[in-house]
Structure 1
Amino acid sequence: MTDADLPHSPERFCLWREVQDTRTRTRLGGAFYLIAWLLCWLFSAAPLQHLGAGLAGSAFFGLMLAARLLHHPPAAGTEAELQRWLDRHWGVILMSSIGWGLAHAWVLLTAGFQPASLIATLATVAFSTAMAFNFAMRRRRAALAIFLLYLPGLATLALGDDSTRAELVTLVFYLSYLILVMNRTHHEYGTMLALELQLLEQRQRLDTLSRTDGLTQLGNRYQFNNLFPAMCANAQRHGSELSLLLMDIDFFKRINDEHGHSMGDACLRAFGERMRAFFRRDSDALLRLGGEEFGVLMPDTSLEQARQLAEQFREDLANQGFQLGGQHLPVTASLGLGCFHERDGGSAEAFFKRVDDALYRAKALGRDRLELAEG
C-alpha cells in the first residue's frame, strides 16, 4: 500500500493502523490456544477417558482460531466500520481468553489432568504476557483479557491446599508485573503511532509541494502530466465529457521588460487568483503549465459550458486587468478550448494537440480571443 492509499484524517489513520496491528497479531495466537489445549489433553493421565472434554475443548479453540482467521478487516472502511471490526475482533479475543481461563481452572481441578497442570499454567503465563505486550493499544480491553486468563486459575489455586500457595503467590506477583508492562507498552504504542502519523503528514506535505507551483499555488506541470492521461482514460471508459482549456498571458515578456520581474511574478499570482474566482468547482483542476501558460481541466463539462466560462474569464480579464503595486496593469490572454472526442482515439496526446493548436490559432489571429479545437 502506498502513502496515497492510506487514510488521511488522523482519527481514521489511527483506527486503520490499530486494525492492521490487531489483525496481524491475532493470526497465530488462536493456533497456540488450540495447541496448548491439545498438549494438556494428550499429556493428561488418561486422554481417552477424557475424550469428551478433549474434543469439546479442541472444537472451541478451533472455532476461535477460525473466527480470527476468517474475520477480515474492511478494505477501505469508514471510521464506524473500522471501529465495528475492532469491537467484533476483540469479542473473539475475549472469548478465547475466558475459554482458556476456564480450561486452566479445569485442568487444575480435574485429577486426571494433574500431569498437565504445569503446561496449563505456563500457557496462561505465556498468553497473558503476549496480551500485555501485543494488545496494549486498547489498555482496558487488554487488562480485561489478562484477568479473564488469570482469575479462574488463581481462584482455583486460592481454594486449594497449602501445596499451591507458592504457585498462587508467584502468579499474583507476575500479574502485577504484567499490568505495569501493559501500561508502559500502551504509552509506547501511542508514541509510535504519533511518530508514524507525523511522518505520513510530512510525506503528504512533500507530495503536495512536488505537485504545486510555488508561485501561484496552482497545480504544476508534473501534476498535469499525471492527472491528464488518467482523466482522459476515465472519460473514455465512462463515456463522460472532459474539457481542457489552455491559456497564455499575452505579451507577458513585455510586462517583465517594462515593469520588472517582480511585477511579472505578481501578475502570475494575480492570474492564478482570477482563475480560482471563475473555475470554482472542486472537480476542476487549475494548473500552471510553465511560464505564462495555464490550463484548466473540467470533467463532466460540455464544450458549450466550458466555452461560456472561458469567455467570461477572458472578458473579465480584458476589462478589469489587475491592480498591482498601486497601479493598473492591463492584461489579456489567448485561449484554446476543446472537449475530449472519439476522434482522439482515446489518446490524451491527440486531445492535447488539438487544444494546443487552438491556442496557437488564437495567438495568430490577434490574441485576446478564444478559439475552439477542431473536430
Structure 2
Amino acid sequence: MAEAQVPRQPHAFALWREAQDTRIRSPLGGIYYLLAWLLTWAFSNDPAALVLPGVIGIALFALLLALRLLHRLPQEQSNDSLSRWLNLHWSLILITALSWGAAHALAQHHPLFSSSAIIATLSTIAFSTALAFNFAMRKKRALLALLLIYLPGLLTLALAWREQYALLITLSFYLSYLLLALNRSHREYHNTLKLELQLLDQQERLEHLSCTDSLTQLGNRYQFNSLFPVMVANAQRQSQPLSLVLLDIDFFKRINDEYGHACGDSCLSDFAERMRQNFRRDSDALLRLGGEEFGILMPNTPLEQARLLAEQFRLELEREGFNVPGAILPLTTSLGVGCYDMRRDGSAESFFKRVDDALYQAKAAGRNRLEQA
C-alpha cells in the first residue's frame, strides 16, 4: 500500500500493520514445515515402510503452504475486510501448528521414526521459537498455536517418561521460556506500534502545518500548487466544470499603515472567516495565496454558480465592513472568476493566468467589483 493509503486512525492502522506483518512472515514458515516433514520421513528407519504417513504429511503441509501463498490481502483494505483476512489466515496458522504437533507426536511414538525423531523435536523447537517472536501480535492466538505445536509431543514423551524424562524436562523448561518470550514480544510489538502511530500523527501535523496558513487557517500557496493541477486534470478527465475565484482585499496596505499590522492581521483573519461562512461546501478549497490575495477552487461548479456565490460574498463584505475598536472600516474586495475550458486553457497555468487577468481588470476598473474571465 502506498504511503498515502496508510490508515491514520489508530484501530485501522493497527489492523493494517498486523495484516502486513502477517502476510510477510507467514509464507516462509509454511515452507519449513514441509521441509521438516520431508527430512523426518526421509531419515526415518525405513521410509519405504512409512510411505502412507510420509505422503499424507507431504500433501498436507504442501496444501497448507499453497493456501498461505494464495491467501492474498484484499484489495479493499477496510477494517472489516482486514479482520476477515486475519481471522482466516490465523486459521491456517493454527491448522498448520496442530498438524505439526501431530507429526511430532507420531515421530516420537512410532518406532520406525526413532532415528529421525530428533529432527522432529528440533523442528518443533524452531517452529515454536519463531512463532513466539514473529506472531506475537495476537497473544492469545499465538499462545494457542504454540501449545498446538508443542503439547502433542510433550504428551507423547510423558507417556514414555521413564525412557524420555530428560528430554521431557528439557522441553518443558524451554516451553516456559517461550511463554515468557511470547509475552515480551507481544509488549514490544505493541510498543513499536504505538511509536509508529505517534510518528504518523507527527507527520500528519507537519503536513497540515506545511499546507496551512498559520494566520487564517486556510490552505496556503503550497497547498494550492499541489491541488490546482490535480483538480484541472480531474476536470479534463471527467469533463466536469472546475471554477476558480481569485480575490484581493482592496486598499489593504492602507489598513496596515493607518491602524498597524495587528489590525491588518485581524482583517485577514476576519476576511478568511467570512469566506468560510459564504463558501461552505466541503468540496471547495479555500486558500490564502499570499499577502491579501486569496483563492477558491470549486470543483463540479459551473461558471454561473461560482459567479453568483462570489458576487454574494462581495456584496455582504461591502455591506458589513470590518469592525475595529470604535469604528467600522469599509472592507471590499476585487474578484476574478473563471471556469476551466479545454478549448481556451491549454494548461493549468494558462487557466490561472486567465482568471488572474480578470482580477487585475477588476482592480483597474475601480475595485470592489467582479470580472468574469
For the aligned pair, the TM-score class normalised by the smaller chain equals over 0.9
Determine if contact 1:157/1:168 at 8 Å carries over to the other structure. yes
Distance 1:37 1:336, change over 3 A: same
Task: Give CA-to-partner distance per residue, 1:205-233, whole Å, 9 cap, x none.
Answer: 11110111111111000110111000000
Q: Which residue of 2 aligns with 1:320?
A: 320
Of residues 19-28 and 31-40 in structure 1, the stretch that sits farther from structure 2 once superposed is 19-28
Determine if contact 1:109/1:156 at 8 Å carries over to the other structure. yes
Separation in 1 of the partners of 2:2 and 2:250? 42
Q: Which residue of 1 aligns with 2:247?
A: 247
Task: Give CA-to-partner distance per residue, 1:127-166, whole Å, 9 cap, x none.
Answer: 1111111111100000000000011111111111511111
| Structure 2 counterparts to residues 205-354 of structure 1, below 5 A | 205-325=205-325, 327-354=327-354
Identity across the alignment (%)? 61
Distance 1:106 1:12, change over 3 A: same
- What number of residue pairs does the alignment pair up? 373
Task: Give CA-to-partner distance per residue, 1:61-88, whole Å, 9 cap, x none.
Answer: 1111111111111234111111111101
SS of corresponding position for 1:371 = strand
Deviation, 1:354, is 1.0
Separation in 2 of the partners of 1:79 and 1:334? 48
Of residues 37-46 and 323-332 in structure 1, the stretch that sits farther from structure 2 once superposed is 323-332
Task: Give CA-to-partner distance per residue, 1:13-43, whole Å, 9 cap, x none.
Answer: 1111111111111121000000000000100
Q: Which residue of 1 aligns with 2:81?
A: 81
Question: Which segments of 5 or more consecutive residues in structure 2 lack a partner in the other structure?
Answer: none
| Structure 2 counterparts to residues 1-375 of structure 1, below 5 A | 3-325=3-325, 327-373=327-373
Separation in 2 of the partners of 1:64 and 1:336? 66
Determine if contact 1:3/1:200 at 8 Å carries over to the other structure. no
Determine if contact 1:245/1:355 at 8 Å carries over to the other structure. yes
Deviation, 1:2, is 5.3
Deviation, 1:122, is 0.7
Distance 1:344 1:115, change over 3 A: farther
TM (norm. structure 1) is 0.97
Separation in 2 of the partners of 1:145 and 1:327? 76
Determine if contact 2:100/2:149 at 8 Å carries over to the other structure. yes
- Return the letter of the residue paired with 2:82: L
Of residues 249-258 and 44-53 in structure 1, the stretch that sits farther from structure 2 once superposed is 44-53
Separation in 2 of the partners of 1:243 and 1:6? 31
Question: Which segments of 5 or more consecutive residues in structure 1 lack a partner in the other structure?
Answer: none
Runs of 4+ displaced beyond 4 Å: none
Separation in 2 of the partners of 1:46 and 1:340? 81
Separation in 2 of the partners of 1:63 and 1:344? 62
- Return the letter of the residue paired with 2:83: Q
SS of corresponding position for 2:209 = helix
Of residues 343-352 and 138-147 in structure 1, the stretch that sits farther from structure 2 once superposed is 343-352
Deviation, 1:362, is 0.7
Determine if contact 2:161/2:168 at 8 Å carries over to the other structure. no
Task: Give CA-to-partner distance per residue, 1:48-106, whole Å, 9 cap, x none.
Answer: 22122111111111111111111111234111111111101101100100000000111
